[in-house]
């Protein structure tokens, strides 16, 4: 995947810069061509000569380099496919979000026309500092992909978040980037995620334990693939996903989710990942029902959102409709039946007999289509999102 890919690697001032030398080695071994830029801080930790030796190319430090006969701050990003900042210090990220350019690295970020991946590295207090976290959120909403640091004993001796991700994990993210890049450019997608809330009265409701992790990961993977995504998000425990290609519509009940989905149509892709409550309360009370009154709840069925989209007529139905099926028995047969009942092209089936997947970071899934089923094994929800995005890409190419 990295064969002949051109990566511009910026090393800023953190002790983790020594690990970036290993990252260069891994990247070049995988066939990528790496060009290095060091800030003054980066130069304190590794020498330009080390970077040059490993990349086989001149390492850039100076803004005004009369030997280069080019405007480095512009040319460097033009000839790269991807910019990776590893390690990325709090100061560098802060300069980035303020649009400051006072050295070669920050100016080239200002003049960049390529995607950016950041691998932050810093002391735990700096990482947790609200000012830094605000900057990080801005960097993300400006389109940067952030590889979270790890929690560990830090170089300063303190313990907590801040240790730069390992070169192997950074490689994985770079690899994902090239796997997904632009595969769904020009497509529109709608994804439902999270659980729904069905009101009983003004203070009580019925819901489920959906965290929103899987649906949000799918929305992010589709957005990273270049699709414009509407994420219709119900109750969740992780907050809305964020990406420049992503619009988030927050909803409460299944009926609201149904309405938002249909308002967001037309789309090329629909993925129904939400844990929708099958039933709603017929007459929710506007006031708190007293204990002495007793609880006499009447239920009615909610609309089946996936089915309502999957069964649309040929002019309105998205070209690809994906549903989920959590089953405890006869996983494949039940999922196969759901393909027809709900009008889906793909059912992502998970066996939940061993316990709930709600809130977990992993998912064990099968892809079930009219042609048969494929076992994916256990993947992180992020990886499963990417597999779904790639499956959709292949299906749209048919
Ligand atoms: O029928 P079951 O709940 O097993 O189907 C699961 C799939 O159907 C999921 O994709 C879920 O998002 C979707 N669903 C829906 N509307 C409902 C119930 C389920 O979209 N009311």
| Span 86-129, pLDDT tens digits | 999 999 999 999 999 999 999 999 999 999 999 999 999 999 99
How many angstroms does the Cα of residue 295 sit away from the middle of ligand 1? Answer: 27
* pLDDT for position 223: 93
Q: Which atom of ligand 1 is nearest to the CA of 308?
A: 20
Same domain, yes or no, for 89 and 224?
no
* pLDDT for position 181: 83
Q: Is 144 part of a structural domain of the chain?
A: yes
* pLDDT for position 67: 62
Q: What's the CA gap between 359 and 282, in Å, rounded? A: 29
Same domain, yes or no, for 44 and 162?
yes
In this structure, what CATH number is given to the domain that contains residue 242? 3.40.50.10300
Same domain, yes or no, for 173 and 195?
no
* pLDDT for position 356: 64
Same domain, yes or no, for 141 and 107?
yes
How many angstroms does the Cα of residue 85 sit away from the middle of ligand 1? Answer: 41
Question: Nearest-5° angle of CA 167, CA 55, CA 31?
Answer: 70
Q: What's the CA gap between 293 and 131, in Å, rounded? A: 50
Q: What's the CA gap between 300 and 298, in Å, rounded? A: 7
* pLDDT for position 233: 98
Give alpha helix (H) positions in 2-103.
Answer: 17-29, 40-45, 48-55, 72-78, 90-98
Q: Is 1 part of a structural domain of the chain?
A: no
- Give me the domain span that covers residue 110: 6-180
Tell me the best of 305, 308, 321, 347 to mutate to test the pocket of ligand 1, counting ligand atoms within 8 Å of each CB and taking the most.
305
Same domain, yes or no, for 154 and 220?
no
Same domain, yes or no, for 204 and 149?
no
How many angstroms does the Cα of residue 304 sit away from the middle of ligand 1? Answer: 6
Q: Is 195 part of a structural domain of the chain?
A: yes
Q: Which residues contact 120 (CB under 8 A, 6 or more apart)?
A: 87, 88, 89, 90, 93, 127, 136, 146, 147, 148, 149, 162, 164
Residue pair 279/302 in contact (Cβ under 8 Å)? The answer is: yes
Q: What's the CA gap between 64 and 70, in Å, rounded? A: 10
Q: Is 145 part of a structural domain of the chain?
A: yes
Q: Is 219 part of a structural domain of the chain?
A: yes
Q: Is the CB of 278 under 6 A from ligand 1?
A: yes
Task: Pick the last residue of a domain from 180, 211, 244.
Answer: 180
Q: Is the CB of 254 under 6 A from ligand 1?
A: yes
Please indicate whether residue 156 is annotated as part of the active site: yes
**Residues of the chain where predicted confidence (pLDDT) is lower than 70:** 66-69, 355-356
Same domain, yes or no, for 176 and 269?
no
Q: Is 111 part of a structural domain of the chain?
A: yes
pLDDT in tens, 211-262: 999 999 999 999 989 999 999 999 999 888 878 789 999 999 999 999 999 9
How many angstroms does the Cα of residue 362 sit away from the middle of ligand 1? Answer: 20
| Number of helical (H) and strand (E) elements in the chain, helices listed first | 14, 19
* pLDDT for position 355: 66
Q: What's the CA gap between 52 and 35, in Å, rounded? A: 8
Q: What's this model's pTM, rounded to 2 decimal places?
A: 0.78
* pLDDT for position 140: 83
Same domain, yes or no, for 236 and 162?
no
Same domain, yes or no, for 238 and 151?
no
Tell me the best of 276, 308, 328, 337 to mutate to test the pocket of ligand 1, counting ligand atoms within 8 Å of each CB and taking the most.
276
Nearest residue to 139 via CA among 164, 123, 120? 120
Q: Is 272 part of a structural domain of the chain?
A: yes
Task: Pick the last residue of a domain from 132, 158, 180.
Answer: 180
Q: Domains in the chain: how many in total?
A: 2
Task: Pick the last residue of a domain from 180, 205, 225.
Answer: 180
Q: What's the CA gap between 42 and 92, in Å, rounded? A: 11
Same domain, yes or no, for 348 and 381?
yes
Q: Which atom of ligand 1 is nearest to the CA of 306?
A: 20
Q: Is 325 part of a structural domain of the chain?
A: yes
In this structure, what CATH number is given to the domain that contains residue 41? 3.40.50.1950
């Amino acid at each position: 995947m990295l064969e002949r890919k051109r990566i511009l690697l910026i090393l800023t001032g953190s002790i983790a810069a020594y690990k970036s030398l290993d990252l260069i080695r891994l990247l070049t071994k995988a066939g990528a061509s790496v060009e290095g830029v060091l800030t003054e801080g980066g130069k304190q930790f590794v020498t330009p000569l080390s970077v040059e030796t490993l990349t086989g190319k001149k390492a850039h430090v100076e803004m005004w380099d009369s030997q280069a006969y080019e405007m480095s701050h512009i040319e460097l990003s033009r000839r790269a496919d991807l910019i990776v900042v590893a390690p990325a210090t709090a100061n560098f990220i802060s300069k980035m979000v303020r649009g400051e350019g006072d050295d070669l690295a920050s100016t080239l970020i200002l003049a960049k026309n390529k995607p950016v991946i950041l691998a932050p590295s810093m002391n735990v207090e700096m990482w947790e500092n609200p000012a830094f976290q605000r900057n990080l959120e801005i960097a993300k909403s400006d389109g940067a992909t952030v590889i979270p640091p790890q929690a560990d004993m830090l170089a300063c001796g303190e313990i907590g978040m801040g240790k730069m991700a390992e070169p192997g994990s950074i490689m994985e993210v770079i690899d994902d980037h090239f796997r997904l890049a632009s595969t769904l450019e020009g497509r529109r997608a709608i994804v439902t995620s999270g659980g729904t809330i069905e009101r009983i009265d003004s203070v009580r409701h019925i819901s489920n334990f959906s965290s929103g992790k899987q649906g949000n990961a799918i929305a992010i993977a589709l957005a990273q693939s270049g699709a414009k995504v509407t994420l219709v998000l119900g109750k969740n425990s992780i907050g809305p996903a964020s990406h420049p290609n992503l619009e988030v519509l927050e909803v409460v009940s299944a009926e609201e989710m149904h309405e938002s989905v249909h308002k967001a149509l037309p789309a090329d892709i629909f993925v129904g990942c939400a844990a929708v409550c099958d039933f709603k309360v017929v007459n929710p009370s506007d006031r708190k029902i007293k204990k002495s009154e007793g609880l006499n709840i009447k239920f009615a069925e909610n609309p089946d959102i996936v089915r309502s989209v999957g069964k649309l007529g040929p002019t309105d139905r998205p070209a690809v409709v994906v549903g989920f099926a959590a089953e405890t028995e006869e996983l494949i047969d039940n999922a196969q039946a759901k393909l027809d009942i709900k009008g889906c092209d793909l059912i992502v089936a998970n066996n939940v007999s061993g316990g709930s997947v709600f809130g977990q970071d992993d998912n064990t899934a099968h892809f079930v289509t009219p042609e048969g089923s494929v076992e994916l094994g256990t993947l992180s929800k992020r990886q499963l999102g990417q597999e779904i995005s790639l499956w959709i890409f292949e299906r749209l190419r048919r």
